[in-house]
């Protein structure tokens, strides 16, 4: 801290010095006037007193010059990031106000600096301890920053800063290199069988100090995927157990009842019991077949198919109103798989409570592909059902398997397309399937 003293205000010092100088010059001029003319006497008196005046002026300005030097030094310290320098001024004049303002500025900068240091420390701690591997790469493909997880994954725990990122990739696992070569985000696996580790790769480009940089994120998903896999298997087991119990329990009961009817000779009631057994067995067979189809869905075999013929074949199996399939336009898809998906959607439309004449299949071009809308005027879906309807095993039906919409989604995505659901104005549902050419 530079502490400067200036007890008498500068204005009073200048005023007093001027008065003293004028009085001394006048007295000296009177003395000299005894030998010279008054004008020459005044000039000579002023010249003789000028060095003395200059000396006193320098003494008066000396504290102020020291103050200006101190202020300049503190500003230079601020520019260098050093906020420990401060200036103190004892005077209560205009310079005192300037120093007070400068001190307030320094205090604000120090507080901001401390806050930034604390935030940087917190951010660095978070980045270093996150399980996601983070690597920042500069335009020359050199590593600018890498956290602990990235060092373990790419450098066996050693520092990566300053190294060539491409060289690090060249010595990394082949699956990681292939994921980078594909470009964009994606998933890849490292290892085999029980030692397999699944990672998600994310890449983002941004400008830092006017130069393009790339942020690479590698997140290990193995534990999360295994947890999701266990949850899925539990749900599958619950659904299968529920369906098996719903079918096998009445079958066992009716078989026992049939045996009792035979023992008693009441043969007239046997056909009813046998018909019920057959109905439950057929339901169980269809349930298991649907699961098998969903689990073993093969890759689609794409081939040219005329839409008119395809829609006519669908109408022979389930009634609906066709729109937009009247000409000889041709699509390219797996006919059996798409037929299975649309049959599920059309049957759902009929089961929604829609009048049969309001169940429609609308076909039209959508960019470089095709859009198929299955429309009904049923009860529609609430927001919770819409959010989960495409998930496997999710069903609001009493005896539903929750696979119809999930299978349609699987088929659409296997063709490179997508499926979506939305409630229609006036009631009903629209299920949209978009397929590329």
Q: How many Å apart are CA 275 and CA 30, to the nearest integer?
A: 146
* The domain defined by 130-220 carries CATH number 3.30.450.20: yes
In this predicted model, what pLDDT tens digit does every residue of 148-169 receive, in sequence order?
Answer: 999 988 888 889 999 999 899 8
Which residues of the chain fall short of a pLDDT of 50?
1-6
Angle (nearest 5°) at CA 268 between 266 and 273: 90
| Residues forming beta bridges with residue 220, ordered by sequence position | 199
pLDDT, residue 58, reads: 63
| Residues forming beta bridges with residue 371, ordered by sequence position | 364, 434
CA dihedral 99→100→102→105, nearest 10 degrees, is 170
**Stated pTM of the model:** 0.43
User: How many Cβ atoms are within 10 Å of 198's Cβ, its own excluded?
Assistant: 18
Q: How many Å apart are CA 368 and CA 361, to the nearest integer?
A: 20
Q: How many Å apart are CA 404 and CA 410, to the nearest integer?
A: 10
| Residues forming beta bridges with residue 143, ordered by sequence position | 137
- Sign of the torsion angle spanned by Cα atoms 50, 52, 55, 59: negative
Greatest CA separation for the chain: 168
Residue-range domain boundaries for the chain: 2-117, 130-220, 226-295, 303-436
In this predicted model, what pLDDT tens digit does every residue of 243-278 receive, in sequence order?
Answer: 677 677 777 887 888 888 787 877 777 788 788 788
Report the CATH architecture of 303-436: 2-Layer Sandwich (3.30)
Radius of gyration of the chain (CA): 45
pLDDT, residue 62, reads: 62
Q: 3-class SS at 399?
A: coil
pLDDT, residue 415, reads: 87
In this predicted model, what pLDDT tens digit does every residue of 386-433 receive, in sequence order?
Answer: 776 766 655 666 555 566 787 888 888 888 888 888 898 888 899 999
Angle (nearest 5°) at CA 206 between 205 and 208: 135
pLDDT, residue 5, reads: 46
Residues constituting the chain: 437
pLDDT, residue 277, reads: 80
Query: Half-sphere exposure of 255 toward its Cβ, with a 13 Å CA cutoff?
Result: 9
User: Token pair 């906020």 is at which residue?
Assistant: 83
Q: What are 219-225's contacts with CB under 8 Å, separation 24+?
A: 219/131, 219/132, 219/133, 220/131, 221/187, 222/196, 222/197, 222/198, 225/198
């Amino acid at each position: 801290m530079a502490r400067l003293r200036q007890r008498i205000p500068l204005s009073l010092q200048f005023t007093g010095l001027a008065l003293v100088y004028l009085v001394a010059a006048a007295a000296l001029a009177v003395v000299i006037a005894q030998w010279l003319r008054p004008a020459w006497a005044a000039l000579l008196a002023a010249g003789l007193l000028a060095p003395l005046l200059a000396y006193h002026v320098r003494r008066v300005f000396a504290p102020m010059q020291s103050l200006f030097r101190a202020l300049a030094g503190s500003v230079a310290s601020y520019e260098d990031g050093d906020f420990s320098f401060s200036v103190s001024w004892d005077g209560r004049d205009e310079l005192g106000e300037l120093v007070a303002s400068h001190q307030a500025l320094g205090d604000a900068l120090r507080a901001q600096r401390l806050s930034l240091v604390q935030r940087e420390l917190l951010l660095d701690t978070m980045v270093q301890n996150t399980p996601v591997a983070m690597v920042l790469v500069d335009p020359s493909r050199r590593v600018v920053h890498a956290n602990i997880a990235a060092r373990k994954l790419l450098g066996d725990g050693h520092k990566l800063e300053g190294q060539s990122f491409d060289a690090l990739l060249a010595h990394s696992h082949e699956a990681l290199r292939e994921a980078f070569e594909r470009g964009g985000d994606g998933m890849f696996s490292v290892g085999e069988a029980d030692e397999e580790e699944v990672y998600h790769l994310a890449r983002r480009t941004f400008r830092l100090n006017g130069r393009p940089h790339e942020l690479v994120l590698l997140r290990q998903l193995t534990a999360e995927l295994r947890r999701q896999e266990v949850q899925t298997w539990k749900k599958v087991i619950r659904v299968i157990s529920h369906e098996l119990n719903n079918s096998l329990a009445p079958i066992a009961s009716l078989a026992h009842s049939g045996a009792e009817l035979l023992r008693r000779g009441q043969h007239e009631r046997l056909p009813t019991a046998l018909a019920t057994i057959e109905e439950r067995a057929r339901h169980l067979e269809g349930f298991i077949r649907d699961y098998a189809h969903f689990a073993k869905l093969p890759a689609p075999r794409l081939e040219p198919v005329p839409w008119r013929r395809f829609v006519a074949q669908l109408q022979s199996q389930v009634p609906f109103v066709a729109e937009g399939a009247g000409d000889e336009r041709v699509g390219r898809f797996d006919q059996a798989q798409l037929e299975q998906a649309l049959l599920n959607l059309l049957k759902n439309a009929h089961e929604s409570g829609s009048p049969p004449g309001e169940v429609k299949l609308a076909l039209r071009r959508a960019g470089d592909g095709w859009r198929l809308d299955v429309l009904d005027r049923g009860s529609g879906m609430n927001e919770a059902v819409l959010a989960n309807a495409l998930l496997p095993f999710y069903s609001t039906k009493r005896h539903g398997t929750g696979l119809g919409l999930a299978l349609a989604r699987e088929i659409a995505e296997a063709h490179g397309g997508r499926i979506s659901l939305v409630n229609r104005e006036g009631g009903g549902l629209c299920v949209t399937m978009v397929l590329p050419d």
